[in-house]
Chain A
Amino acid sequence: MAEAPPSNEVVIRTENLSKTYRNGAEQLLRMPGVTALSNLNMEVHRGEVFALIGPNGSGKTTTLKLLMGLIFPTSGEVEVFGSDPRTSVDVKRRIGFMPDGPYFYGHLNGYELLEFYANLLGMDRAATKQRVMELLEKLEMTTRAKQRVRTYSKGMLQRIGLAHALLQNPEIIFMDEPTSGLDPVGTADMHQMVRQMKSEGKTVFLCSHFLTEIEDLCDRVILLDRGRTLQYGDLNSLLAEPGKMRVRLSAVSAAARARLLPMGRPLAEDQAQGNLELVVADGTDTHNTISTANELGAHLDLVAPMRRTLEEVFMESIARQQADAPWQDGDRGLAHLVEREEG
């Protein structure tokens, strides 16, 4: 299957989207509440895999819920296919949602459950049967179709969750932590599914805090921390550092180290082992670094164009953000200290 190139058609757009959770008393007393998301601006294009990345409590699930009209923005705007998801039932025909750790009617069996969602979509009997069987097949759940959902394992639940999201053959599919709780095989399967959906031209919008998986999967990302946008854009350009080279050396003596360090930015270092990794500008600087290392008896292990891991970008951004604008005490209360597994 040929990969359909992402188009420039914007299917999701947010503008200064903010969400502050306030319970009844807080609303009444006009207390600050918990700001889960502030001033999110993004555009998602048709056919791309878009990822929302952030640690626990950074507002990923909040964003998803806002996009699907399950909760309402405190300020700002959301548009999915150009209309407000809160009021438009039609939009929901074109999207699929796979919630984080999905829960379903436990007393129904897998088939009945999917049949129920198919009925909600207004599918007739024959179409329902055909579509449900097809999906069960695709997700290797056929043998479990007559088993009650409450007896499903986490992996099976994720699969049935995906099946239910795919029932209406949606244009956009939202996935909240699609691989949480899955074993490596299950994770690989899930990634395969995402790639396949992308190849079918679907837009995939996913949330994750597994940075490595995102790195392989997605086209564009947004980095969130405590509701604020840290980075937003094309993954490749985020990771790449143009004009920089990475030089990895070993058997670096103390004297060599003292000479080499000022020549670039240290990326990693192990003094005991004599390992050192430096980022230096390409061209003359790289040449100088290598010859200096050679002179001082250090071994050259690797010279490559600089490309950071997502994790590095992430840690760096957080560090920078905190240096720029450290969160004041009480800014977010204690809520962010309680890291929640599920959002």
Chain B
Amino acid sequence: MMGAILAIAKATYRESIRQRVLLVVLLLGLLLIGVSIAFSSLSTGEEFRFIVDFGLTGFVMVGLGLACILGGFMIPGEIDRRIVMTVLTKPVSRFQYLFGKFLGAALVIFIVDVLMGIPFIAAYMWKHPQHQFNPVLPLALFCMFLQTVVLLGAAMLLSTFSSSSFTVIATGFVYVVGSVNKYVAQLAEHGDSRVQKLIFGVLAKIVPNFQNFDLRQALLAEMPVDWHHIAVDVVGYTILFLFVVLSVAWLFFSEREF
């Protein structure tokens, strides 16, 4: 059971990291961090804050890009190229295939995040007045990873029943709504009409709340964050959300014809 999942994950990972587009995304991310170091002198005295802000944005953007590329093109691509037929005619269930793909993509995201995270943390410590390491940094980056994984799950779900281009657009939409989830919820409360309230209310409920993954404020204010808040609440939230998207994705995928 696990063997096939891991084999698919490994192949996904191997195939993905050799794709040039991924390298481009990674370089873009590193470039953003580099730019943030260069521009940080604009905000004198607060350089490490600027780096946090800009750098985390780099993570968000790269994450969004990865989720769209991996989630949106991975499975539809394999269906198009009929690779999926060769895999599913091996003793592999559709769930194993889906989950293996997901794990492989998540691994790719993790590696990209680590590759970006090291220079990011180094830049932060370099620019920090006391060259202090902030233990919230790795937590914040881990949360960024979780957020990207959630987006990936959403993208994969979308890709099981729609085209790649729709998936990319819809994933972007999910990201935007998820980032302003609080305001969407407020609009639902204070909406003008019933219809508006209903639409915003449903949106706020089904789209993940990406503010849950945002530790920017804690980093900017140099406030501590309990690690068990991350380990229990945020990871728990991620897992539960993945439960939802992956099971729905599987329900769609098990009906799919190739």
Verify whether A and B have any Cβ pair under 8 Å.
Answer: yes
Chain A residues engaging chain B, CB cutoff 8 angstroms: 65, 68-72, 89-90, 92-93, 95-97, 99, 102-105, 107-108, 112, 116-117, 119-122, 161, 164, 168, 174
Check if B11 sits within 8 Å of A105, measured CB to CB: yes
| A-B pairs under 8 A by CB, number | 80
- The answer to whether A122 touches B86 (Cβ under 8 A) is no
Judge whether A104 and B83 touch: CB under 8 Å: yes
* Max chain A Cβ within 10 angstroms of own Cβ: one of B6, B7, B19, B258: B7
Q: Given known contacts A90-B91, A93-B91, is B4 in contact with A119 (CB within 8 Å)? A: yes
Question: With A71-B257, A71-B258, A119-B7 in contact, is A107–B90 under 8 Å at CB?
Answer: no
Check B89–A95 contact: CB distance below 8 A. Answer: yes
Asked whether, in the complex, the Cβ of B82 is within 8 Å of the Cβ of A103, the reply is yes
Taking CB as reference atom, which chain A residue is nearest B81?
A103
In the complex, residue of chain A having the shortest beta-carbon distance to the beta carbon of B18 = A107
Given A119-B4, A119-B7, A122-B4, residue A70 in contact with residue B89 (CB < 8 A): yes
Contact among B7, B15, B92 with A105 in the assembled complex (CB-CB below 8 Å): B15
**B interface, how many residues as a size bin?**
20 to 34
Partner of B92, one of A65, A95, A120, A164: A120
Which among B83, B87, B88, B89 has the highest number of chain A CB atoms within 10 Å? B89
Question: Of all chain A residues, which has the CB nearest B80?
Answer: A103
- In the complex, the answer to whether A68 meets B4 with C-beta atoms within 8 Å is no
Q: Which residues of the other chain, B, contact A103 by a CB distance below 8 angstroms?
A: 81-83
Cα distance, A246 to B20, chains bound together (Å): 65
Query: Which residues of chain A are within 8 angstroms of B83 by Cβ–Cβ distance?
Result: 103-105
Q: Please, how many angstroms separate the alpha-carbon atoms of A89 and B3 in the complex?
A: 14
Q: Chain B, 7-30, contact with A by CB distance < 8 Å: what is the 0/1 string?
A: 110110011001100000000000
Given A65-B258, A70-B257, A108-B15, A117:B86 Cβ within 8 A: yes
- Known pairs A70-B257, A70-B258, A107-B18; A97 contacts B86 (CB<8 A): yes
Cβ contacts under 8 Å, A69 to chain B: 88
Residues A89 and B14 in contact, CB atoms below 8 Å apart: no
- Whole-angstrom distance between the Cβ of A214 and the nearest chain B Cβ: 23
Which B residues lie within 8 Å of A174 (CB)? Answer: 89
User: Which of chain A's residues have a CB closer than 8 A to the CB of B87?
Assistant: 117, 120
Nearest CB on B from A191, distance (A): 23
Q: Tell me the chain B residues, 91-118 only, with Cβ under 8 Å from chain A.
A: 91-93
List A contacts of B10 (CB < 8 A). Answer: 116, 119
- Shortest distance from the beta carbon of B39 to any chain A beta carbon, whole Å: 36
Given A105-B15, A108-B15, 17 other A-B residues pairs in contact with their CB atoms under 8 A: A65-B257, A65-B258, A68-B85, A71-B257, A90-B91, A95-B89, A99-B86, A102-B82, A105-B11, A107-B14, A116-B11, A119-B7, A120-B4, A120-B87, A121-B90, A161-B86, A164-B86
